[in-house]
Amino acid sequence: MSVLPFPSTATFIALESAFDTPARNLTKSRGKNIHRYVSAKMGKRVTVESFLECAACYHFDFEPSIVRFCSQPIRLSYCLDGKTHTYVPDFLVQFDTGEFTLYEVKSNMESSKSEFQCEWEAKVQAAFELGLELELVTEEEILDEVIFSNLRILHRYASRDDLNHFHQTLLTTLKLNGTQTAKSLGNHLGLNGRKVFPFLCDLLSRNLLQTSLEEPLSLESEFDLGCYA
């Protein structure tokens, strides 16, 4: 496998500006279903052009290793059948390592078409030449029923406000007692677990707690301090 070249200064500048100025301004039009996702991580709306792209935002928003993300980031030129085409990936993500990755979101039907595969290889090569990885995320990965439902719960309770006294009490209780369910934490504090659950989800959305998102979040879910706590 070829080693990914280091992005040029011009590419870094383009990537940085993408977080404030998208390569495409999405507006309503026939055949397009514009969505505006309110990002807890970014503190602003992220405009996308399909429900599937909107669903992908939940994954980017609550993945601990992702520092920031944006839609419609940069314009690439790629060659196919002797012709030059332009293309704007769906997303740009920056990880906590400092690395940038481009993402394209596609339905299972679209990604299975033979013509897509030819175009995709050309687009991946164009991104590679800029020193960037371009990755495909499919409907099957994004819309996992349990994980997507859990991410929507995190989004519902996520806050950008400073932690309050009750948040700190929950963190201290977990530090002293180890892994706890929402129900057991409620018992420790003399509260109904349902009163505690929204605060736990908020802390989880901030990566201050951790739990398995592969099982439905409930009062019986086990919470522990996250690596960022």
CATH number at residue 107: 3.40.1350.10
Closest CA to 62 of 175, 215, 220, 211: 211
197 assigned to some structural domain: yes
Alpha carbon 10 to its chain centroid, in Å, reads 26
Boundary (domain end) residue, out of 143, 178, 200: 143
Other CB atoms within a 10 A radius of the CB of residue 188 amount to: 15
**Same domain for 139 and 157?**
no
Query: Global pTM?
Result: 0.92
98 assigned to some structural domain: yes
**Same domain for 51 and 132?**
yes
Q: How far apart are CA 133 and CA 167, in angstroms?
A: 38
Total number of domains in the chain: 2
pLDDT in tens, 83-139: 999 999 999 999 999 999 999 999 988 888 888 888 999 999 999 999 999 999 999
**Same domain for 125 and 159?**
no
pLDDT in tens, 141-160: 999 999 999 999 999 999 98
**Same domain for 198 and 217?**
yes
Q: Which domain holds residue 188?
A: 145-225
